[in-house]
């Protein structure tokens, strides 16, 4: 027999002080000593005004690991949450290939034995972790579960990672040796952070959120990879993973850099991650715009705000902009952590009232996956 599941606490952690647009290259560095030609254009388009990097400005080195970021968010849930039976984590970039992120977080926490599950992916990995935690409590396997989303991407964005490729291009006498736009693009889009939520079988405190359902889906059957790392495309456009390449090419081709096919993204993101799956959900879940009090979209860029708005109208769920909530401009695009950080800020704002319904939308451009989370505010 399944039971209702309630999100009773949330927390977020953003490392160090905010970094403004003009400070980004001071923290990440310039490639080949040259300021990026694309920086201003990309920042003007994405609308992000500040973000956080886990880079210690005094040393120019990462100041904490992804696991440590995640633990900071979990500890911010409070010392009185009780015994946790299940820990589910999601991140794009764990600190190591093996072992998984969840057990490293568990080790940092020092909590007693529990189920530790790590979900792979990109932006949707944190929501996949949330679904695992929700299902564990719902099925009665766990009385209490913690789910997290976290990202530590700044070490990959630092200029030092691209110097070998830059030098190789200069030696090859290319006329324009700057790093390809597909790699430079994401240096101005991504940042660090972590979020956590506590799920229980009963409400707690003055206000909790009942988790009604979580739906995840993938469009990989019809679309190629759009965002990737640790791999490069061959002459035919197929992805060749790092194990199929020589270590020398890892450096000269910046194989481990995160890449984005911007044209493929722009042409498909609204339809493949919002329009198509939402049409099915409207019928399956009997969704009505009039019954959704808060819409929380994970936007990687404000460039996509209008296309997403138009897509909602086209599928018959025209949620007015005044019911949207996002903190992208101030907190940046923190990938798998973004939905957690966004929800935590809205909860702490005091703007949610009992009986209000929330719909969260989490797209992922990796190979065009998406997630939807429906919650309702309840009192104890």
Q: What is the pLDDT of residues 13-35, one digit of tens each?
A: 999 999 999 999 999 998 777 88
The confidence score (pLDDT) of residue 181 equals 54
**Per-residue model confidence (pLDDT) at position 183:** 61
- 291 neighbors 11 (Cβ within 8 angstroms): no
pLDDT for residue 163:
60
Please tell me whether residues 161 and 48 are part of one structural domain.
yes
Instruction: Mark whether 367 and 317 lie in a shared domain.
Output: yes
Q: Are 22 and 66 in the same domain? A: yes
Q: In whole angstroms, what is the distance from residue 226 CA to residue 128 CA?
A: 20
- For residue 65, is pLDDT > 70? yes
Residue 217 pLDDT class (50, 70, 90 cuts): very high
Considering its fold, how many domains does the chain have in total?
Answer: 2
For residue 131, pLDDT beyond 90: yes
How far apart are the C-alpha atoms of 192 and 197, rounded to whole Å?
18
More confident: 35 or 108: 108
36 falls in which pLDDT band (50, 70, 90)?
Answer: confident
The last residue of one of the domains, among 195, 210, 225, is: 210
187 and 57 co-located in one domain: yes
Residues 184 and 234 in one domain: no
253 within a domain of the structure (yes/no): yes
Mean predicted confidence (pLDDT) in 204-230: 97
Pick the last residue of a domain from 171, 192, 210.
210
**pLDDT confidence band for 38 (50 / 70 / 90):** confident
Which among 157, 187, 210 is the end of a domain? 210
- The two tokens of residue 40 are 């201003």
Q: CA 194, 201, 289, 348: dihedral to nearest 10 degrees?
A: -40
pTM of the model: 0.94
- State the pLDDT confidence band at 186, using cuts at 50, 70 and 90: confident
- Percent of the chain whose pLDDT exceeds 90: 83
Q: Examine residue 302 and state whether it is found in any structural domain, yes or no.
A: yes
Average pLDDT over residues 157-171: 60
> Are 69 and 195 members of one domain?
yes
3-class secondary structure, 376: strand
Question: Which range has the worst mean pLDDT, 164-178, 223-237, 358-372?
Answer: 164-178
User: From CA 355, how far away is CA 210, in angstroms rounded?
Assistant: 10
Task: Give yes or no: residues 206 and 216 share one domain.
Answer: no
Domain that holds residue 315: 212-378
Claim to verify: residue 159 and residue 35 sit in the same structural domain? yes
């Amino acid at each position: 027999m399944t039971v209702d599941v309630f999100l009773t606490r949330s927390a977020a952690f953003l490392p160090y002080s905010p970094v403004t647009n003009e400070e980004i290259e001071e923290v990440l560095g310039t490639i080949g000593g040259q300021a990026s030609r694309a920086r201003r254009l990309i920042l003007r388009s994405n609308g992000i005004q500040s973000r956080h990097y886990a880079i210690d400005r005094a040393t120019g080195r990462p100041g904490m690991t992804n696991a440590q970021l995640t633990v900071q968010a979990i500890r911010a849930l409070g010392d009185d949450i009780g015994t946790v039976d299940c820990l589910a984590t999601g991140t794009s970039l764990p600190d190591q290939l093996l072992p998984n992120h969840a057990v490293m977080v568990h080790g940092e926490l020092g909590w007693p034995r529990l189920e530790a599950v790590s979900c792979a992916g990109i932006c949707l990995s944190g929501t996949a972790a949330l679904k695992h935690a929700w299902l564990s409590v719902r099925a009665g396997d766990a009385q209490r579960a913690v789910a997290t989303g976290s990202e530590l991407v700044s070490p990959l964005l630092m200029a030092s990672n691209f110097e070998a490729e830059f030098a190789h291009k200069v030696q090859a006498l290319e006329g324009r040796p700057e790093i390809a736009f597909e790699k430079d693009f994401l240096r101005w889009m991504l940042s660090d952070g972590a979020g956590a939520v506590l799920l229980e079988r009963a409400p707690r405190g003055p206000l909790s959120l009942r988790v009604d359902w979580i739906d995840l889906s993938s469009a990989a059957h019809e679309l190629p990879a759009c965002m990737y790392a640790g791999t490069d495309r061959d002459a035919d456009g197929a992805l060749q993973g790092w194990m199929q390449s020589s270590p020398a090419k890892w450096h000269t081709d910046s194989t481990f850099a995160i890449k984005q096919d911007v044209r493929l993204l722009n042409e498909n993101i609204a339809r493949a991650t919002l329009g198509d799956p939402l049409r099915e959900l409207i019928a399956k879940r009997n969704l009505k715009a009039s019954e959704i009090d808060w819409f929380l979209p994970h936007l990687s860029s404000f460039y996509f705000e209008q296309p997403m708005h138009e897509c909602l109208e086209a599928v018959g769920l025209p949620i007015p902009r005044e019911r949207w909530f996002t903190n992208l401009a101030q907190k940046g695009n923190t990938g798998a952590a973004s939905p957690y950080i966004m929800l935590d800020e809205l909860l702490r704002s005091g703007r949610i009232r009992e009986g209000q319904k929330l719909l969260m939308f989490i797209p992922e451009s990796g190979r065009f996956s998406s997630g939807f989370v429906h919650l309702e505010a309840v009192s104890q």
